[in-house]
A and B are shown apart, each in its own frame.
Chain A
């Protein structure tokens, strides 16, 4: 009989105890795996999303770098505005291929008695700024149309072609943005000139998105712009990514710590459970020593028991977190202020392998002490006749 089979049969002698210990390991490996793959998916999703915006940098009124990040990604309301003169000045620079004004605000929606998040934009630039969007219906070609984010659309019980009004201003719903999985789903998109008129903010914008002709000249252009135009701040997509990453990194560290603590607790659980069986089996271990088991044989049997437990738990944890990844993702999206569009939790064999190796490692560590104690049992323990 092999040591593995023998250890496995030993674990079966205490089915409930082994099972409960297993549950702890399963849960903590599932959490660890999900957190690591989420973090990885988050980074990947973020850079993909930024790549797709099609803009090279944003110009905002000076003084609010962090808000820019949230503006770019899900439209924060910034109580400061740039005016047309800035965009006129920029237009005079060469090497600029596109300047797109953005005005983000909140509007009370009397009909549904709630506050709408509204994103004013140049509709003709839409394909350039948001190339990844799929729109059902059409993009408004005048100031009378608007587009609903999928979440808004689902909640409102309206259809394309319906009228949508703010006070006296009536719009026609020309299109619906198909679900992106990001915060874009929660917005209403209105032609910027119409929004400026409604707010009496003609010529005012929250930000200007800029696309250049030659990206390799980016630093040069940014330097020139910030030297010559006062009162503006230029934020590149790289900076946006970094500031989001740094916002997310504290959450990452926290979540990883929680996972590690959970794992430590369950490892202590494994150790405790096996140590208990070692104490209960003192005479049996003595007997095995008397019939020819060396200290190393006993050590191997016990540490195999903990490794079997944690590896089984690790495997189960991986299976569960992959099956449940949809649920986990929905759950996380509810709590994170920003999650990139698309599926974040994809099966990643490297992370899976890491988690599995880690669970074996946990088995070794939690088994060391019980195995050491067991190997110290003297053969004369058995014969207390």
Chain B
């Protein structure tokens, strides 16, 4: 469970101060499938950073299963990112020199976990890329790259998947495929937090958090 209490985030850009989040109170349970929506610059990505322990708030408290993350050493945070959270980015961020298989297994290099080949192959098969397993990213379509990234996010068996506009660079057909994939992961018990600009997709999640100017404008169950 993730709980935010009066979370503020202020970016200092030279002499200019940007208040990206202005007091966020939020509770997210295990197993939720929620979407974060809102206009550009409203603080969606900033909020996701904080939910994923990639960044710390300027003020306020972030609790992970009740523990204030500010009291955790950096090492512990790295471990949480490694073991509990899987990230998916709008720009996919696959490593160009590596095959689909190698890209998917990259997080294992950092988590020092062992997975046998068939487990990884099963993951790749699940995202529908069995026949692309030895392809490099430049031989893949956008949708295939994002599906590779999803398999990569799953390789450490995370509890949460955080996805920042994963369909933003895809056509509607591929976007649909990615969304269905996320939904099937949710059905397997993984919590999904999805930033999207697409209101139709947001409507198909279970909870919609609408941000505006760094505050939560609305938080509703669908």
Contact = CB atoms under 8 A, between A and B. Distances in A.
Interface of A: 1-3, 6, 9-10, 12-13, 283-284, 287-295, 297, 378-380, 382-385
Contacts of B105: 1
Contacts of A384: 45
A297 B93 contact: no
Contacts of A380: 49, 54-55
B174 interface: no
Contacts of B160: none
Interface residues of B, number: 37
B54 A379 contact: yes
A6 B91 CA distance: 21
Contact of A283 (B55, B87, B93, B109): B93
Given A6-B106, A6-B109, A290-B89, 12 more contacts: A1-B106, A290-B54, A291-B110, A292-B81, A293-B110, A294-B110, A378-B54, A379-B55, A383-B54, A383-B164, A385-B45, A385-B168
Most buried by B among A284, A289, A290: A290
B86 interface: yes
B110 A288 contact: yes
A1 B93 contact: no
B212 interface: no
Nearest to A281: B95
Interface in B33-87: 45, 48-49, 52, 54-55, 74-75, 78, 81-83, 86-87
Contacts of B152: 291
Interface in B108-151: 108-111
Contact of B97 (A3, A10, A288, A289): A10
Contact of B109 (A2, A10, A379, A385): A2
A13 B97 contact: yes
B110 A292 contact: yes
Contacts of B55: 378-380
B81 to A, nearest CB: 5
Nearest to A11: B97
A288 B49 contact: no
B102 interface: yes
B107 interface: yes
